[in-house]
Amino acid sequence: MKYRKSILVAILLAMTIPMMSQTLEMAKILYKKGRYESAIETFRKNLKSRPNDATLNHWYGVCLYMTGSKEEAVPYLKKAAQKKIQEAYYYLGKIYYENYDFTDAEEQFALYREAIEKNGGDTRMADINIDMTKRAAGMLNRTETVTIIDSLVVDKAEFLRYYKLPPEACRLMYYTDIFKTDTLSAEGTLYENQRQDKQLYSRKSENGRYIIGERTRLNADEWSEEQSLQLQFRDSANYAYPFLMNDGLTLYYASDDDSLSIGGYDIFVTRKNLNTGAYLIPENVGMPFNSPFNDYMMAMDEINGVGWFVSDRYQPEGQVAIYLFIPNEAKEIYRLPADEIIPYAKISDMKSTWPEDADYTALLEKIYNIDTSKPQKPIEEFVLVIKPGLIYTNKEQFKSAKAKELFEKSVSIEKEIAAINSELSEMRIKYNKAKDKSAISATILKREEYLLTLYPQPEKYKNMSRAAEIEYINTQKGQQ
């Protein structure tokens, strides 16, 4: 009887071993398909009997990282790294980086690069991570002292619906609110200025990347063709979430350009050069606004003196945090050791950024009670200040035929500028695709030279129009 029991145990054990093996093989398949939540339990069970298996430790560590248990993943990835498993260095680097431990992150990314190079692989991504880490370390030491007054966690897909900006300041919408397409994308946002005569928006281009377009109102019912902003776009990067300050020159936007950002989307600011119409070299706004995660949609409420931005730092998949802050008149930075700056850069505790005895209850109540559905003022054809206290918004208000003619000339040139900018945008696309670039390059240069002669003219003719109108009004008064 005892002999039969031994045989039965042996048979059951023989059946169990291949079943365990099959389960592990299945978990590996799930792992390679990115289904980490389905594979993680099998790796955990197998580690109990094989705790020093470097590959199992790596798989389990990656699964923990990808399912949100990043700190818990560290000891398993360290075991894998000790056995020279290449990707373990990368994930350790990511964990340290996301925790603002840039010194250890850079060390791990350097080991990752070394392993790739030893195996004859492509080191470009490793180099990008090393450069990004160095950039973030420098940025940490220049973290701005910003007062964060509130935050709320919302669904990423609808985050813009929670922004509360006065309608008399501007309007923020989704691209699909104006341009009807099949799908709503959080990246596809649209800004309209307070005069309702300019729109900036982000949309998908032919290469699948987001670009920022601009159009201006020609009259009550007609808009210009899209004009590509004169920014230095890279084909490999996305550019989205535009916001223009009331000065009409200062532009905020977000980009995942990995040569400038510190992880995913970062917020940038630039200003338009009035002489050329092009935007200056953009500046990364730095920490705490930007982080190793995605940060975007900087918007300024100049009426109430607050700013808004969004981040998915430390948030569950599909959710983002919206932050409200008090913009500084001049940038000030923390003068502290790096480890003491980290909580401020992370925005770990909002109230630690508040001045002593500060209370923002009334301000927040005022902001959250803003009625964004409130209709704006009727659309005006234009706004032309003739002199203090005398503003024209349509052509029929002109008393002088000469003044009206001069103003119409300025409008005509503005339309020509918009048309040429649109034409140049298309020509630049053709230039990038052309094998023989010489002919199209010459045409582009010629059109750009002509465009430079046009830029000053609309304002010149408006000034002449004002002068003619004032002269006519004064003459008429003198005759009475």
Choose among 267, 290, 294, 322: nearest CA to 150: 322
Looking at residue 381, its pLDDT comes to 65
> In whole angstroms, what is the distance from residue 205 CA to residue 200 CA?
15
Termini Cα distance of the chain: 131
Say if residue 19's pLDDT is above 60: no
Looking at residue 206, its pLDDT comes to 85
Average pLDDT along the chain? 89
DSSP lists the bridge partners of residue 387 as 390
> In whole angstroms, what is the distance from residue 338 CA to residue 459 CA?
49
Which pLDDT band, with edges at 50, 70 and 90, does 182 fall under? low
**Cα 452 from chain centre:** 30
Tokens at residue 461, please? Answer: 């003719």
Tokens at residue 275, please? Answer: 């002489």
DSSP lists the bridge partners of residue 324 as 150, 308
Which pLDDT band, with edges at 50, 70 and 90, does 249 fall under? confident
Q: Residue 288, preceding bond cis, omega within 30 degrees? A: yes
Which pLDDT band, with edges at 50, 70 and 90, does 14 fall under? very low
Each residue of 56-95: pLDDT tens digit? 999 999 999 999 999 999 999 999 999 999 999 999 999 9
Looking at residue 426, its pLDDT comes to 84
Side-chain-facing half-sphere of 239: CA atoms under 13 Å: 25
Tokens at residue 47, please? Answer: 């580690």
> In whole angstroms, what is the distance from residue 147 CA to residue 352 CA?
9
> In whole angstroms, what is the distance from residue 292 CA to residue 273 CA?
31
Under 8 Å CB-to-CB from 90, ≥6 apart: which residues?
A: 108, 109, 112, 126, 129
Which pLDDT band, with edges at 50, 70 and 90, does 4 fall under? low
Task: Provide mean pLDDT across the span 164-192.
Answer: 84
Looking at residue 439, its pLDDT comes to 83
Choose among 11, 359, 290, 267: nearest CA to 143: 290
Choose among 414, 357, 77: nearest CA to 216: 414
Each residue of 350-407: pLDDT tens digit? 999 999 999 999 999 999 999 887 665 555 567 787 887 787 878 888 999 999 999 9
Looking at residue 159, its pLDDT comes to 96
pTM of the predicted model as reported, rounded to 2 decimal places: 0.74
Kindly give the pairing relationship between strand 210-219 and strand 222-223. antiparallel
Q: What is the C-alpha R_g of the chain?
A: 30
Region of poorest pLDDT, from 111-125, 206-220, 354-368, 402-416: 206-220
Cβ–Cβ < 8 Å for 171, 192 = yes
% of the chain beyond a pLDDT of 90: 66
